[in-house]
Amino acid sequence: MSVHVSPGAAASPPPTPVPPRRPVNIHDLRAAKERGEKFTMVTAYDYSSAALLDELGVPVLLVGDSLGMVVLGYDSTVPVTLDEMLHHTRAVARGAPNAIVVGDLPFGTYQDGPSQALASATRMLKEAGANAVKLEGGGPMVEVTAHLVRTGIPVMGHLGLTPQSVNQFGGFKVQGRDDAAAQRLLDDAVDLAEAGAFAIVLECVPSEVGERITAAIDIPTIGIGAGPDTDAQVLVWHDLLGLTSGRLPRFVKPYADLRAEIGAAIKAFASEVADGEYPGPEHTY
């Protein structure tokens, strides 16, 4: 999705004028789906990564509650608090003037119903500067979504493997494998779209389910382990860049090996300090 382009560093010949960047909005995403243009969403948890992603033109940054696992070291997303999410969302929003910044509502801050959800989502927009919120689940979350949307808060849905329900699922497992479960996901997606959600994350579902849901609704689906036919794909920053250690889920493709790069850089620094090579005269006042 080419919503905006950064002026490059090239100096000559005189560059063709670049249209000024304008912030992406939720209608751009729907228009991208209509044009059949796939786009990406990437998670961000801090100012500098958000600024880089924004500069690179990534249209949607998700301050996911995966924050709890990849940044804060919890063993699931369940313990993440709204204050933790607000703190990190604020940093991301400061770094990303152009992308849509979506703040995840953490477990226990919206499941009680529309008024609890409105209070939490309002803080996410007013105090943290998010442009939208994401919440997990269908069923009762359809009415919650409708309430937030009526209030003027853009909502991204999340179906399939919804990690806040990991204790209910009995682990991080593919969802929607049998016909009845797939139909329930499809019905939830249609209901969320009718309630006014602007996009839906589909996590860990068979690719036929991703394809069926994507064809059935007008709003973009954003897949993570949902096959190639969703309208967009999302990956967690650490997984995408090869910063995660240990076994990776099947859907993760690391596009870099930053763990190795960082390891080499830290070793080089330590060894140059030990040898007295760093700092050299050029680094010294």
Indicate the SS3 state at residue 131.
coil
Across the chain, where does the E strand assignment appear? 39-43, 60-63, 100-104, 132-134, 155-160, 199-203, 221-224, 232-235
Q: How many helices (H) and strands (E) does the chain have?
A: 11, 8
Closer CB to ligand KIV, 17 or 73, in the complex: 73
Stretch of residues binding ligand KIV (CB under 6 A), selected from 46-54, 63-71, 81-89, 121-129: 63-71
Q: Could you say whether residue 157 binds ligand KIV (CB under 6 A)?
A: no
Stretch of residues binding ligand KIV (CB under 6 A), selected from 61-69, 172-180, 241-249, 257-265: 61-69
Residue 248 CA to residue 43 CA, distance in Å, equals 16
Length of the chain: 285
Closer CB to ligand KIV, 77 or 98, in the complex: 77
- Scanning residues 166 to 205, which ones bind ligand KIV (CB under 6 A)? 201, 203
**Is 127 annotated as catalytic?**
no
CB 210 within 8 A of CB 229: yes
The one-letter amino acid code at 284 reads T
Indicate the SS3 state at residue 144.
helix
Using CB under 6 A, which of 66, 175, 214, 233 touches ligand KIV? 66
Give the number of residues in contact with ligand KIV, rule: CB under 6 A: 12
Q: Which residues contact 249 (CB under 8 A, 6 or more apart)?
A: 172, 204, 225, 239
Q: Pattern of binders to ligand KIV over 210-239, x per CB under 6 A?
A: --------------x---------x-x---
Q: How far is the CB of 77 from ligand KIV (least distance, A)?
A: 6
Closer CB to ligand KIV, 196 or 249, in the complex: 249
Closer CB to ligand KIV, 195 or 236, in the complex: 236
Among 34, 37, 203, 282, the one annotated catalytic: 203
Using CB under 6 A, which of 4, 43, 155, 221 touches ligand KIV? 43
Closer CB to ligand KIV, 13 or 144, in the complex: 144
The residue with its CB nearest to ligand KIV is 64
Closest of 66, 27, 33 to residue 221, by C-alpha? 33
Residue 111 CA to residue 6 CA, distance in Å, equals 40
Indicate the SS3 state at residue 204.
coil
Q: Which residues contact 17 (CB under 8 A, 6 or more apart)?
A: none
Using CB under 6 A, which of 82, 102, 104, 220 touches ligand KIV? 104
Residue 146 CA to residue 149 CA, distance in Å, equals 5
Q: How many CB atoms lie within 10 A of CB 248?
A: 12
Q: How far is the CB of 224 from ligand KIV (least distance, A)?
A: 5
- Scanning residues 3 to 32, which ones bind ligand KIV (CB under 6 A)? none
Closer CB to ligand KIV, 191 or 203, in the complex: 203
Give residues in contact with ligand KIV (CB under 6 A). 43, 62, 64-66, 104, 158, 201, 203, 224, 234, 236
Residues with a known catalytic role: 203
